[in-house]
Chains A and B, each alone.
Chain A
Amino acid sequence: MSAAAPVQGRDERLAPTSTLRKLLARPELGSVVGAVAVFVFFSIAAPTFLQASSLSTILYSASTIGIMAAPVALLMIGGEFDLSAGVMVTTSALVSSMFSYQMTANVWVGVGVSLLVTLAIGFFNGFMLTRTKLPSFIITLGTFLMLTGLNLGFTKLISGTVSTKTIADMEGFSSARALFASQWTIGSVTLKVTVLWWFAIVAVATWILLRTRAGNWIFAVGGGADAARATGVPVVKTRIGLYMGVALCAWISGQHILFSFDVVQSGEGVGNEFLYIIAAVIGGCLMTGGYGSAIGSAVGAFIFGMTSNGIVYAQWNPDWFKFFLGAMLLLATLLNAWVRKRAEATK
């Protein structure tokens, strides 16, 4: 017996872990390493990449993806997909614009109606999922196709063309623009309001995940719905809530597009749902649910912003654009998985 013998009766699971070890166990660690790698790469490959004005452009580009990637990450931690997220953004912008125009109402009325409609779509996704027990991939694929058709059909029916009419001269436009699409110029740097929205959404999502009961429910539902139900987690409520969270952010995104571009094209938004999923996955979310983080989704969105703009700043041939994008994403995700494995090995 020596004096340095461990205290008897202490549970090793309650032993304090070092800060470094806590950091290593975070889901977003791998994506941060990936982000640094991509940043260094483009700093060397593209001479204009490091300008302040370029970085503000990249930040804006990342925010447009990131606003949606955060709720999508939460949804994926809860073990579900939403393939309708991309066109839902367009739907929300269209509803807002057309309602204001057709009713000759204050623009804010359209914004409010759009919020209700978008939340209803989110509720529909969640409700159908919990009621039918079909996989969310199928449910939201159906919603995606229906919304794509509704966007085109309704716009054509109401406006007579495939894009909305301008609402820039209507009451309330400037105040709504200030909230959803304003920007501040400091020297050569332009900070867009979406960046603030993005940070706020990521902060709220992180708080929900790590500091509230709802966060525990999300992890539990994603880890195993039956086990979660057995321990008293409100599975149905959690899932519907997650889909409505995606809808809420789709509304914010949609209003941004409407108030920064004034006219909305009805055919847009298709394909963006995959960008949100990709950003979440790079950020450490597992496709199987139960693991991931909101901060990771922000890092994933930032990697996407750096890559898609960096390729332009590097003046590469655009024919290869998608190839590079795909390769970068694969590499970032692989690096991510590798870092996670190393981190788990050191536990």
Chain B
Amino acid sequence: MARVRTGVRVVGAVLAAVLGASLAGCSSTGGKRAEERAKAAAAGRPAVSTPRWTFAMITHAGDGDTFWDIVQKGAKEAAAKDNINFVYVHDDQAQQQAQFVQNAIDQKVDGIVVSLAKPEALKDVLAKAVKAGIPVITVNSGSAQSAAYGALTHIGQDEEIAGEAVGTELNERGRKKAVCVLHEQGNVGHEQRCAGAKKTFSGTMENLYVEGTNMPSVQAAIQAQLQADPSVDAIVTLGAPFAPTAVKAKEAAGSKAEVDTFDLNESVARDLKSGALGFAVDQQPYLQGYEAIDLLWLYRYNANVLGGGRPVLTGPQIVTADEAGKLEEYIKRGSR
């Protein structure tokens, strides 16, 4: 009995201490409060008086993907402004994606935004959408098939061109031997990025396949590669979350290689500023979501189509230490 009572007392004391500490120890920088201030500045209300249309966005994103979260955010904010009821679903399996497009057709939505990572799988169901008179816009991947499948416009980055920009930038930085880290075996866009970089890079470049869903194994694989070949002087990762991991691997292997990456996130911006990373290639995911919804709205409202039958490119934008500072607050907000 007495033991129980002391137990209760200890727990109570700990709770009191934690509460006290959290009340007394307020942070004057960062945290939730700073985020709320930033949010208040960017609150969304419809700015138009068009009817409340429903637009569905179907992507090939996996669960918990940073990049697609930003795309979704852009789409959401455009939807709020254009008075749109915005529906978002995603699945990394082609069959399921086709199923979701069918769901959208069943619901008779007023517009569909779709990413064509696996174009052939969506060919038939998109033909159905077009036949049902639903305007379709493709985003992010599938620029080659977009027009043939009857989409109004494609918004995204040409992966090959983005890769070429990386190769050119590496040349300017005097690099000789690079490793391209692919974190998703089976992703055609990733293959194109590395192929593009190889094309313009005057040194040699090797592909390294890692298991993106398992960070420790990613680090181990990069480390092993650097230990096996000390002459590597550049590592290119294809996603922002993998850049800090590559930096860790480089330090552990005692290598002098420069780490560069595709896409941005908070830690990439920080590492760019501190010089731990060389450069990042941004394809402005926010813009992909935002423009897709906005262009569907324009088509519904005014029958406008952008791009003249060609893809509308949102990248590549090379971000270095100078620009990183400026972008940091937007990245923190989750919109870059």
C-alpha gap A48/B102 in the complex (Å):
12
C-alpha gap A313/B54 in the complex (Å):
13
A130 at the interface (CB under 8 A from B): no
Contact A267 B121 (CB under 8 A): no
Q: Across chains A and B, which 9 residue pairs bring their CB atoms closest together, nearest first?
A: A267-B186, A263-B120, A261-B121, A162-B186, A312-B103, A54-B106, A48-B107, A262-B120, A53-B106
- Please judge, given known A-B contacts A262-B120, A265-B94, whether A309 and B99 are in contact too, CB under 8 Å: yes
B98 at the interface (CB under 8 A from A): yes
* Shortest CB distance A306–B (Å): 12
C-alpha gap A321/B64 in the complex (Å):
12
Q: Which residues in chain B, 148-187, are within 8 Å of chain A measured between CB atoms?
A: 184-187
Apart from the given pairs A265-B186, A309-B99, A309-B103, 16 other A-B contacts in the complex at a CB distance below 8 Å: A48-B107, A51-B106, A57-B102, A61-B99, A162-B185, A162-B186, A162-B187, A162-B191, A163-B186, A166-B120, A261-B98, A261-B121, A263-B121, A268-B186, A318-B88, A321-B89
Contact B118 A265 (CB under 8 A): yes
Give the chain B neighbours of A321 by CB distance below 8 A. Answer: 89
- Please judge, given known A-B contacts A54-B106, A268-B93, A312-B100, whether A163 and B185 are in contact too, CB under 8 Å: no
C-alpha gap A61/B101 in the complex (Å):
13
Q: Which residues in chain A, 144-202, are within 8 Å of chain B measured between CB atoms?
A: 152, 161-163, 166
Most buried by B among A162, A261, A309: A261
B322 at the interface (CB under 8 A from A): no
Contact A312 B89 (CB under 8 A): yes
Nearest A residue to B90, CB-CB:
A318
A92 at the interface (CB under 8 A from B): no
Contact with B along A257-298 (1 / 0, CB 8 A): 100111101111100000000000000000000000000000
B188 at the interface (CB under 8 A from A): yes
Chosen A-B contacts, 11 in total, with CB atoms closer than 8 Å, are A48-B106, A48-B107, A51-B106, A54-B103, A54-B106, A57-B102, A152-B185, A262-B123, A268-B95, A309-B99, A318-B89
* Shortest CB distance B141–A (Å): 13
C-alpha gap A267/B185 in the complex (Å):
7
C-alpha gap A221/B197 in the complex (Å):
57
Give the chain B neighbours of A114 by CB distance below 8 A. Answer: none
- Please judge, given known A-B contacts A161-B188, A162-B186, A268-B94, whether A260 and B124 are in contact too, CB under 8 Å: yes
A322 at the interface (CB under 8 A from B): yes
Q: Which residues in chain A, 287-326, are within 8 Å of chain B measured between CB atoms?
A: 309, 312-313, 315, 318, 321-322
C-alpha gap A232/B95 in the complex (Å):
44
C-alpha gap A15/B167 in the complex (Å):
83
Give the chain B neighbours of A57 by CB distance below 8 A. Answer: 99, 102-103, 106
A64 at the interface (CB under 8 A from B): yes
Contact B107 A313 (CB under 8 A): yes
* Shortest CB distance A144–B (Å): 15
Most buried by B among A263, A265, A266: A265
Contact with B along A309-347 (1 / 0, CB 8 A): 100110100100110000000000000000000000000
Give the chain B neighbours of A257 by CB distance below 8 A. Answer: 95
C-alpha gap A48/B188 in the complex (Å):
35
Q: Give the secondary structure class of B's interface.
A: helix
Most buried by A among B63, B95, B98: B95
A: residues with CB less than 8 A from B are 48, 51, 53-54, 57, 60-61, 64, 152, 161-163, 166, 257, 260-263, 265-269, 309, 312-313, 315, 318, 321-322
Give the chain A neighbours of B105 by CB distance below 8 A. Answer: 53
Give the chain A neighbours of B99 by CB distance below 8 A. Answer: 57, 60-61, 309
Give the chain A neighbours of B89 by CB distance below 8 A. Answer: 312, 318, 321
Q: Within the complex, which residue of B63, B119, B186 is in contact with A322, where a contact is CB–CB below 8 Å?
A: B63
C-alpha gap A163/B60 in the complex (Å):
16
Nearest B residue to A257, CB-CB:
B95
B321 at the interface (CB under 8 A from A): no
* Shortest CB distance A339–B (Å): 30
Contact with A along B27-45 (1 / 0, CB 8 A): 0000000000000000000
* Shortest CB distance A149–B (Å): 9
C-alpha gap A161/B121 in the complex (Å):
16
Give the chain A neighbours of B107 by CB distance below 8 A. Answer: 48, 54, 313
C-alpha gap A269/B98 in the complex (Å):
15
Nearest A residue to B88, CB-CB:
A318
C-alpha gap A318/B191 in the complex (Å):
28
Give the chain B neighbours of A163 by CB distance below 8 A. Answer: 118, 186, 188
Give the chain B neighbours of A51 by CB distance below 8 A. Answer: 106
Contact B94 A261 (CB under 8 A): yes
Nearest A residue to B190, CB-CB:
A162
Give the chain B neighbours of A315 by CB distance below 8 A. Answer: 87
Most buried by A among B94, B187, B188: B94
Q: Within the complex, which residue of A166, A260, A313 is in contact with B103, where a contact is CB–CB below 8 Å?
A: A313
Give the chain A neighbours of B93 by CB distance below 8 A. Answer: 268-269
Give the chain B neighbours of A309 by CB distance below 8 A. Answer: 99, 103
* Shortest CB distance B112–A (Å): 13
C-alpha gap A212/B108 in the complex (Å):
48
* Shortest CB distance B60–A (Å): 10
Nearest B residue to A149, CB-CB:
B185
C-alpha gap A166/B94 in the complex (Å):
16
C-alpha gap A162/B186 in the complex (Å):
5
Contact A313 B123 (CB under 8 A): no
* Shortest CB distance B80–A (Å): 15
Nearest B residue to A61, CB-CB:
B99
C-alpha gap A47/B206 in the complex (Å):
53
Nearest B residue to A89, CB-CB:
B95
Contact A161 B191 (CB under 8 A): yes
C-alpha gap A336/B98 in the complex (Å):
31
C-alpha gap A22/B188 in the complex (Å):
55
C-alpha gap A64/B63 in the complex (Å):
22
Give the chain A neighbours of B124 by CB distance below 8 A. Answer: 260
Nearest B residue to A310, CB-CB:
B103
